[in-house]
Amino acid sequence: MFVDYKQTEVLVVDKWISLEEDENIQKAGMWISCGEVVALPTETVYGLGGNANSEEAIEKIFLAKGRPSDNPLIVHISERKQLSELVSHIPLIAEKFMNAFWPGPLTLILPKTEQVSEKVTGGLSTVAVRMPDHPVAQAVIKAAGVPVAAPSANRSGRPSPTTAEHVRHDLDGRIAGIIDGGPTGYGLESTVVDCTRDVPMILRPGGVTREELEEVAGVVEVDPALISDNEVPRSPGLKYRHYAPDAPLTLVEGSTAFLQEKIKEVEEEGLKTGVITVDELIQEIHADHVISYGSNDDIKEVAAKLYDTLRRADKLEADVLFSVTFPKEGVGAAVMNRLEKAAGGRIIKEE
């Protein structure tokens, strides 16, 4: 059922008029309601939006991305009243999280109603829902008049898109349209929390940190799969290798001298090296190519630039890529989660 579009239409948002009056917003909403798939900006990354009530639209999402169909999708809403058609009941802790963080980069795992398709949930009895904090995303969902399933708008396995150009690069000709609302904000996907348990559990770290969640809930657990490679991740978007640049990426945890030693070993094999580091170290590292995530003193900047930097790394034409690591605290936990996925678990630690 894959549709080969001759050209994916890029719909630019007119910043001089209200979103409700924007013809491109209305067009995107109409396309989604009619079963087409449209990429739209959120405050995290660009999402690939399709009518969550249409199994045909859901299949188009999976086909466009090349994503395995057993990987659950996140359903996006613009108003809480839309929960009634998605969720059978709302646990008290979920209410607290909604009051504290919605709209925002927080996805809640909740018990689903019978009308939610198993194609959306990957066969699970729960559904992942969030309310994005992006005016364009909210306007498109309202214009569509339906809940919108929207995984990241990239080919499966590629770094998630934070600009409309990233989406066009990956999906041109594979989807009906792209709403260009400018660069995204957080740059990392939403935090995913399972609210069906006695103690809420983080299944994917993201824009809302564990520390922030615990201010609301008291105790929040972390999925063992985020710590151990022997566990299978249960979160949307984490079941398979993800976020990866084309060249093999290895994380290096240790001193700059240790990193330089690893670079030298590869160069002695006649391979071209690329290194992704931070501003403070960029002059100290010697390789064929060196680029930066941003300042080591601003982990939110690093998060916002992470996927764009991984995409820039593809253009270096390096045979091997190395990356520095970050402390797993606050937003750093989400950054390292994505980097570990991008590296396929390859990490070298200085003893």
pLDDT (tens digit, 9 = 90+) per residue, 32-52?
Answer: 999 999 999 999 999 999 999
- The per-residue pLDDT for 87 is 98
Residue 31 has pLDDT above 70, yes or no: yes
- The per-residue pLDDT for 69 is 76
Percent above pLDDT 90 for the chain: 86
User: Distance (Å, rounded) from C-alpha 31 to C-alpha 60?
Assistant: 13
Residue-averaged pLDDT of the chain: 93
Q: Which domains are delineated in the chain? A: 9-226 (3.90.870.10), 249-349 (3.40.50.11030)
pLDDT (tens digit, 9 = 90+) per residue, 313-329?
Answer: 999 989 999 999 999 99
Using pLDDT thresholds of 50, 70 and 90, give the confidence band for residue 229.
Answer: low
Q: Report the candidate in 42, 41, 59 with the shortest Cα–Cα distance to residue 50.
A: 59
> In the structure encoding, which two tokens stand for residue 245, read together?
């640049």
Query: Does the bond joining 103 to the residue before it have cis omega, within 30 degrees of 0?
Result: yes
Contacts for 81 with CB less than 8 Å, ≥ 6 apart: none
Residue 1 has pLDDT above 50, yes or no: no
- The per-residue pLDDT for 199 is 97
- The per-residue pLDDT for 11 is 94
Residue 242 has pLDDT above 70, yes or no: no
Q: Which residue has the higher pLDDT, 157 or 96?
A: 96
Mean pLDDT over residues 210-226, rounded?
94
Using pLDDT thresholds of 50, 70 and 90, give the confidence band for residue 238.
Answer: low
pLDDT (tens digit, 9 = 90+) per residue, 110-154?
Answer: 999 999 999 999 999 999 999 999 999 999 999 999 999 999 999
- The per-residue pLDDT for 88 is 97
Mean pLDDT over residues 93-112, rounded?
98
- The per-residue pLDDT for 156 is 86
Residue 231 has pLDDT above 70, yes or no: no
Residue 58 has a CB neighbour count (10 Å cut-off) of 22
- The per-residue pLDDT for 226 is 84
Give me the helices (H) in the chain, please.
Answer: 23-33, 55-65, 92-101, 118-121, 135-144, 164-171, 210-217, 256-267, 299-314, 331-342
Percent above pLDDT 70 for the chain: 94
Residue 25 has pLDDT above 80, yes or no: yes
Mean pLDDT over residues 54-72, rounded?
90
Predicted structure pTM score: 0.92
| Chain centroid offset of residue 122 CA | 18
Q: Report the candidate in 129, 158, 194, 193 with the shortest Cα–Cα distance to residue 46.
A: 158
pLDDT (tens digit, 9 = 90+) per residue, 168-201?
Answer: 999 999 999 999 999 998 999 999 999 999 999 9
